[in-house]
């Protein structure tokens, strides 16, 4: 596998052609080296992470930051990216976890080499990671339940798209959602349907069930599976039914605009990359317990989409950033 890697410069990330850094000409001597690894080549959070990491590297010139992008979205490709770092271990690693169960052993191997590992987005509990900045899955589930309550109103018919995976990636979201259902005294779903985290299966399930239950008011999905493959020319749902799901990514915003999605659950990514690298650097010399930092929840609806889009542009560096506060 070949990973694309970059060393951060003042204004941009210059691409390199292999899984090694390409030098730091023009910069002061690097005393701390941080590797940042994407979940895959189409990682939707990657522009936010890289923009924040670039700002950190610009502010702390003795820190060298490298970007590593796996060749494909399979967890095995990300494992390979991490294991290639074993030949020349960085001081610290920030990794956007694609599959917690698959990545745990590779994280442990790096940790045993003295690398301070920070997980991003998804956590990797049970591994030897030292820090985590990412999604609060219980809070995501609770937010899904809150938005479902708004969508249902006086109507009671809805269904749930879930997925039971080997990694257990959705267990905490489902637990938070079920707790929110109980606390909000919401009706049980007509059906809980397992799409096996397969986007095409998710769309087929929705099509089949809407044919059987045309008066259905809402769908809840624990992830954005159906939105990943629906044809822009086709309507996923009738106007009388709406989807609530996780997935605050730019490709999904059009579904909020056209009414397919009543709400997308996401998070506040303010200074995510900056904070991740800052935490990783601080952990290089720290011996304390794991530092876990869940991101605040953000809900993207028609009435909040403009604000979230504006914030996203700032997070990816297309607009002035809000200066973070260093903990170093």
| pLDDT one-digit tens code per residue, 95-132 | 999 988 899 999 999 999 999 999 999 999 899 999 99
Q: How many angstroms separate the most distant Cα atoms in the chain?
A: 66
Helix (H/G/I), strand (E/B), else coil: 253 = helix
For residue 167, what pLDDT band results from cuts at 50, 70 and 90? low
Neighbours of 140 (CB within 10 A): 23
> Which residues have a Cβ under 8 Å from the Cβ of 25 and sit 6 or more positions away?
none
Flag whether pLDDT at 68 surpasses 50. Answer: yes
Which two three-digit tokens encode residue 208? 């089949």
Task: Find, among 143, 180, 161, the residue nearest to 294 by Cα.
Answer: 143
Where are the chain's structural domains? 4-136+268-296, 137-267
Rounded-to-integer distance, Cα 148 and Cα 137, Å:
17
Task: Find, among 148, 212, 222, the residue nearest to 192 by Cα.
Answer: 222
Q: Could you tell me the pTM of the whole model?
A: 0.87
pLDDT in tens, 28-59: 677 899 999 999 999 999 999 999 999 999 99
CATH of domain 137-267: 3.40.50.2300
Identify the residue with better confidence: 216 or 14.
216
CATH of domain 4-136+268-296: 3.40.50.2300
């Amino acid at each position: 596998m070949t990973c694309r890697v970059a060393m951060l410069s003042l204004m941009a990330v210059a691409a390199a052609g292999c899984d090694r850094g390409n030098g730091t000409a023009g910069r002061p001597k690097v005393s701390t080296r941080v590797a940042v690894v994407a979940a895959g080549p189409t990682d939707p959070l990657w522009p936010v992470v890289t923009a924040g990491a670039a700002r950190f590297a610009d502010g702390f010139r003795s820190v060298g930051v490298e970007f590593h992008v796996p060749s494909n979205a399979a967890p095995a490709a990300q494992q390979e990216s991490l294991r290639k770092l074993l030949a020349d271990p960085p001081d610290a690693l920030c990794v956007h976890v694609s599959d917690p169960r698959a990545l745990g052993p590779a994280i442990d191997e790096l940790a045993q080499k003295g690398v301070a590992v920070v997980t991003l987005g998804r956590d990797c509990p049970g591994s030897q990671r030292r820090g985590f900045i990412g999604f609060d899955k219980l809070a995501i589930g609770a937010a899904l339940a809150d938005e479902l309550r708004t969508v249902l109103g006086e109507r009671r018919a809805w269904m749930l798209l879930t997925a039971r995976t080997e990694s257990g990636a959705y267990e905490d979201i489902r637990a938070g959602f079920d707790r929110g259902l109980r606390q909000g005294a919401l009706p049980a779903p007509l059906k809980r349907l397992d799409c096996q985290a397969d986007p095409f299966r998710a769309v087929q399930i929705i099509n089949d069930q809407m044919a059987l239950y045309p008066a259905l008011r809402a769908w809840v999905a624990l992830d954005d599976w159906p939105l990943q493959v629906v044809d822009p020319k086709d309507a996923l749902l009738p106007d009388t039914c709406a989807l609530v799901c996780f997935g605050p990514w730019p490709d999904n915003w059009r579904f909020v605009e056209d009414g397919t999605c009543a709400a997308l659950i996401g998070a506040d990514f303010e200074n995510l990359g900056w904070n991740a690298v800052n935490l990783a650097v601080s952990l290089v010399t720290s011996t304390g317990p794991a530092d876990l930092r869940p991101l605040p929840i953000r809900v993207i609806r028609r009435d909040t989409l403009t604000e979230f889009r504006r914030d996203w542009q700032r997070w990816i560096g297309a607009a002035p950033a809000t200066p973070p506060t260093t903990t170093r």
